Amino acid sequence: MYDLPDLNRFVEVRPGLFRCTIIWNINKFVDVPVATFLVRCDSLDQGTNPAHDWLLVDSGAPMQVETLLKAIAGVLTHEKDTLRYICITHAHIDHTGATPALLQKYPECKAVIHVEEKPFICEGKSLRSCSSDTWSYTLFKPFSHEADVRLPEDRTVTLRDGDQWEFDHILQFVETHGHTPGSASYIHIPTRSIMVGDAIMNIAANPWWSKVPCISGPMAISTCHWGNAMKAIDKILTLKDKVDTVFPAHDFNTDGIHIDQICEFRKPSSL
Ligand SMILES: [Zn+2]
């Protein structure tokens, strides 16, 4: 049913950028692909100084931890290889699941999060406390997933747009809030790719009976502020001078989405 080459293992989708998709069985009827990304921090003099520092963008759902750890171990095979940062797009459980296990396995590793996401990821604040501009979130938030991790503050780096961090020459942090108050995206500068978490999705329009990919915004029932979520997509479109490919976290397409296709998707409302 899922003909994805990166199912349960990392595949290099762009030079130095690897994707692993794991299927998340939300319930008996609905399963959703969840992608995580490994980034190799290549240095300029690769011949004499091979890269051993790695970054991870998102860390999957809690029930996927074992599969993800195995997939990471399949790529970080050199004794010097180490995970330096886990760059989290937002607090939802399908994006943060393996973070505690990875922080334990790699003592030098830290999580990168947006400053507005810190209360949910480090302090136990409920995502259900968010006020919303839609009836659907307001109605369904009692049933929504909470962030399921409590990361120690000293193992996190909090950022806002424009802040510098150790690997910002490779992964640029971009605020794309709306889906959650501190949702973020990451531009992989060397390959002109952006990992957008749930700001844009590319799964079936109706996952109950279809697997045909379909570009959409985030799921309304789990999106705190719909107006801001649409502004986030428009912000991603303004990055066209730096970005060719958009990689959503939930995507049935192996090769990401060309940014022009996102333009087409937003055209009716943005013109
Ligand atoms: Zn998600």
Distance 202 CA to ligand 1 centre (A): 11
**Which residues, listed in sequence order, are joined to residue 33 by a DSSP beta bridge?**
23
Output the CA–CA distances (angstroms, integers) from residue 139 to 105, 128, 145, 147, 246, in the order listed.
Answer: 39, 11, 14, 19, 31
Distance 99 CA to ligand 1 centre (A): 15
What is the DSSP-derived secondary structure letter of residue 144? Answer: S
Output the CA–CA distances (angstroms, integers) from residue 216 to 67, 77, 83, 243, in the order listed.
Answer: 27, 37, 32, 19
pLDDT of residue 24: 87
Distance 215 CA to ligand 1 centre (A): 14
pLDDT of residue 269: 55
Distance 240 CA to ligand 1 centre (A): 24
- End-to-end CA distance of the chain: give it in Å, rounded: 37
Distance 249 CA to ligand 1 centre (A): 6
pLDDT of residue 271: 46
pLDDT of residue 207: 59
pLDDT < 70: residue spans in the chain: 1-2, 43-50, 144, 205-211, 268-271
Distance 149 CA to ligand 1 centre (A): 15
pLDDT of residue 270: 47
What is the DSSP-derived secondary structure letter of residue 146? Answer: P
Distance 158 CA to ligand 1 centre (A): 20
**Which domains are delineated in the chain?**
11-270 (3.60.15.10)
